[in-house]
Structure 1
Amino acid sequence: MKVRDFMITKVFTVKPLNTVKELLQILNSNRIGGVPVVDDKDHLVGIVSDGDVLRYLSPKPLGVAGLVYIIEDGKFEDVLVEKLDTPVKEIMTKRNVLFVSPDEEFEDTIRLLSRHHYKKLPVVNGAGRVVGVLSRGDIIHNISKKIISS
């Protein structure tokens, strides 16, 4: 079995200059936990997840044992609103982004996901364009549907 047999082809993506607010709208309205970041030609340039957003939005601890938090210029809500205008390129993972090809062996991809504890992987064709996404949930669902139910 190949990755193409299990991947999701309806891929939601963002561009590096999309804001964190726009990213959150995509994640929330589609009930997904992350998306590939692509350039204008749909080439993969990074990946961003709900975990990246949470780490970015959380207050930064300072002081002894992290018990003191500094909130810049006002209330936490004001800081959140300001941070929502940040471009995705500031918080995305851009180095060593793992991806798979549609022709990769399914078994190798399962090993890759489990070894790196990733929730999803972009699927990139030979031209470098994102053509799909493979998530842990999709794999479990498809194993149930294609293998156990047959």
Structure 2
Amino acid sequence: MAIKNYKGPRSVQPKEEVLLRVRHYMTTKLITFLPDQSVEEVIEALLKYRISGGPVVNENYELIGIISEGDCIKHISEKRYHNMPSPNKLVKEHMIKNVETIDGDMNIFDAANKFLNEKRRRFPIVENGKLVGQISQKDILKATLELKSQIW
């Protein structure tokens, strides 16, 4: 009689569970924008702080949109196309209003998959209706470097 599958005795070593939550790697000190700011002010801030976009919040720090470099480029392109001076356009006219957020308790690897599937550069984190942070693709990369010596 042949043995089909013999794995032999195993020593069971409990794996230490590493909590890899979005909230541990998200950025909490954010550059935010207001809906009544001009797009030119946003462009200046993006260049000054070397960021590619940011959340738009109201006076209660509730997330109402996101504005990115692409939104600003679209504004510039529209001005150039019509070859006319245009009044200062406001953030609320160019921001993305339907913003997908993620939970701060989400596993960092689930968040990485969400980045891949949604093709986004950043996700805001909202708790109790208020913006509390943002996770970016760079934050995911930093987390993986920090954790490379640990059991995943």
TM-score bin, normalised by smaller chain: 0.7 to 0.9
Output the CA distance in 1 between the equivalents of 2:109 and 2:81: 47
Question: Runs of 4+ in structure 1 displaced over 4 angstroms?
Answer: none
Match of 2:125 in 1: 123
Out of 11, 15, 29, the position equivalent to 2:34 is 15
Deviation at 1:149, TM superposition (A): 5.0
Q: Which moved more, 1:11-20 or 1:51-60?
A: 51-60
Q: 1:3 aligns with which of 22, 28, 33?
A: 22
TM-score (norm 1): 0.79
Question: Is 1:87 the equivalent of 2:90?
Answer: yes
Aligned-pair distance for 1:42?
0.6
Counterpart residue number, 1:98: 100
Q: Percent identity over the alignment?
A: 31
Is the partner of 2:104 in helix, strand or coil? coil
Q: CA RMSD in A?
A: 1.8
- Secondary structure of 2:28's counterpart equals coil
Amino acid at match of 2:126: V
Measure, in 2, the Cα distance between the counterparts of 1:14 and 1:94: 13
Whichever of the two has the greater Rg, that structure is 2
> Across the two proteins, how many residue pairs are aligned to each other?
131
- The gaps in structure 2 that reach 5 residues or longer are 1-19
Deviation, 1:107, is: 2.1
Structure-2 residue corresponding to 1:135 = 136
Give the 5 Å matches for 1:33-112.
33-59=52-78, 70-73=81-84, 79=85, 82=86, 85-95=88-98, 97-112=99-114
Higher helix share: 1
